[in-house]
Chains A and B, each alone.
Chain A
Amino acid sequence: MRLTFAKTLQLAVTLLACAFLFIPTMQSVLAGLTANYFRGISSGLTLKWVAQVWDLYADSIFLSIWLAIACLACTLVIGIPAAYGLARNPGRVSRILEEFISLPLAVPGLALALALLQLYGSMKGFRTSWTFILVGHVLYTLPFMVRSVLAVLSAMDLKTLEDAAASLGASPWRRFADIVVPNAMPGILAGALTVVTLSIGEFNLTWMLHTPYLKTLPVGLADSYASMRLEIASAYTLIFFVIIIPMLVAMQWASQRAQRIK
């Protein structure tokens, strides 16, 4: 196969972009596995740092996964009916509501966290519980779920489909379960993928809301960068990758499968 100039250029740019992202990643991962970073690879490879990170921060990792799952559950329970309501009643009021729930995207996470602290900071039991962080995550990720489901629902003639189901004897609840949810599935899965990813990686807001006993993965990462040796911080990055990449791949695969079945 002969490469034209344009093709060669495309390939070169692509490879450069990959290298730009990949080389620092590899360096960081290697640093986490090197016995002494300042002496380089020649000092030998070790899993010592990874084990130390696990000892110190395992709780953060589990907390983050747990938060992501709880956040997903909340956005599903709130977001799907909300998107359904907006899709069934299109109009100016719906437009305004949609913009309103999207506000947390435009407002910096720090401001959002500050508002939460001002409002609920004095409620001690709530302030120190993981549900406080959860509230922040749900506020931040909900618009992604709503918009993603709404886009799918708006693209089909939902009202007529529901009329058809009703004429066949389906109650409002059955219509929602049999018609609305299955047909919104591509949007729900895309939304779920976004919500989980954002929740696990969220730093801004979480950093403001966390307590010393409630550190999420990214907060722990910041903590280790600030207070530990470089090798430990790098080992932490490695663990982050090992956890998040298989999760993302699995969700991507599931959503593609589900869309094919549809």
Chain B
Amino acid sequence: MSIALKNVAKTYPDGTKALQPTDLEFRAGEIVSLLGPSGCGKTTLLRLIAGLERPDAGSSIHFDTDDVTRLPVEHRRVGMVFQSYALFPNMSVLANISYGLKMQKLPAAEIRARADEVIKMCQLEPYANRSIDALSGGQRQRVALARAFAPRPRILLLDEPLSALDAALRDKLRDELAALLRRFKITAIFVTHDQDEALAIADRVAVMRNGRVMQIGTPEDLYHNPRVPFVAEFVGHAVELCGTVEDGKLNTPGGRLALPRTDADYQVYVRADDVKLSQDGSLRGTVESVTFLGTHYRVGVSGVVQGLLYANHTGTTPPKPGDTVRMEIAPEALLLLPRERHAA
């Protein structure tokens, strides 16, 4: 089921513009993540698609050719996984999963068969008759997903499905969730503030800020070709290199850096992965912090940008805090982005 949003906006009664007028298309069967910091409008957008919020006048939402703009949530046939999972505490696991099927007034035998099928898919067989209180966080998440998916919804919506779990479990369940969503073969939209989660699960990611979609694209596309500084900062934690441009080079407080082109006014960003420590690098700074991260050291260097410029160093002997180091950045690794208007 494809989804088309045209001119969809949401203003709350107190005047807050949670979502600016937005046009978006989701293709049938793709998994899209809405990524952004809290308060960026991603959850509002998800709730508008679900039908849990009413959009402003002039908005239109279509599922394929079906206009659902005015359809209340109970008639939209969407599956939703809530951040807190919102499992019904008065029902067993099986009853939770069967609830949507019961609402469709299917015969009892078919409800049972379809619930069993989903329970098997989500590997919940041993827990079917348990009460919700007797489940772990990861099991609850799977029950929430199974409950949303059992009635065969047209689309699946997930609101921060992993944020209620502790960090160790989150990484494991992230891959599990991605695999399950692919097996479901359903159009899925999920909201997250965690870029790793978005990049790992989604086919496409929409980065949002202040009620606007800043950029939408594949994870690779967003990472390698951010179109605005915010996307570069939010996806992959790029930092800005400030300085004056002179003869095709950037003069930073730490030294001169070759630029790939100098045709227009832009901001220069770089990621820690692309900053290399090297004896004959053109930038110089003082090591402030060294953190061992298993596969590499994260070295924080002062004197080049405001604050610390981080370099990921893969050698076995890291520099020590206080050392003066030289660094180089390949010109093609620099991200040149149009200067951000500070109106928004």
Contacts and interface: CB of A to CB of B under 8 A. Distances in A.
Interface of A: 156-157, 160-161, 163-171, 174, 178-179, 182-183, 185, 262
A262 B92 CA distance: 10
Contact of B73 (A163, A178, A185): A163
B314 interface: no
A257 to B, nearest CB: 15
A156 B151 contact: no
Contacts of B88: 161, 164-165, 178-179, 183
Contacts of A169: 74-75, 77, 100, 103-104, 151
Contacts of B52: 163, 166-167
A171 B84 contact: no
Given A156-B89, A167-B78, 18 more contacts: A157-B84, A160-B82, A163-B52, A163-B86, A164-B88, A165-B99, A166-B52, A167-B79, A168-B99, A169-B74, A169-B104, A170-B74, A171-B74, A178-B99, A179-B88, A179-B90, A182-B90, A183-B89
Interface in B54-111: 72-75, 77-80, 82, 84, 86-90, 99-100, 103-104
A174 B84 contact: no
B327 to A, nearest CB: 49
A167 B73 contact: yes
A169 B78 CA distance: 9
Main secondary structure on A side of the interface with B: helix
Contact of A164 (B75, B82, B151): B82
Contacts of B151: 168-169
Given A157-B84, A160-B82, A160-B84, A167 B148 contact: yes
B103 A174 contact: yes
A79 B319 CA distance: 71
Contacts of A161: 86, 88
Nearest 3 interchain pairs by C-beta: A168-B100, A169-B103, A164-B86
B50 interface: yes
B80 A164 contact: yes
Nearest to A175: B74
Contacts of A163: 52, 73, 80, 82, 86
7 contacts: A160-B84, A163-B52, A164-B80, A164-B87, A169-B151, A170-B99, A185-B90
B147 interface: yes
A43 B337 CA distance: 108
Central interface residue in A160, A183, A262, by most chain B CB within 10 Å: A160
Contacts of A170: 74, 99, 103
Contacts of B100: 168-169
B147 A168 contact: yes
Nearest to A179: B88
A170 B100 CA distance: 8
Contacts of B89: 156, 183, 262
Central interface residue in A164, A171, A179, A262, by most chain B CB within 10 Å: A164
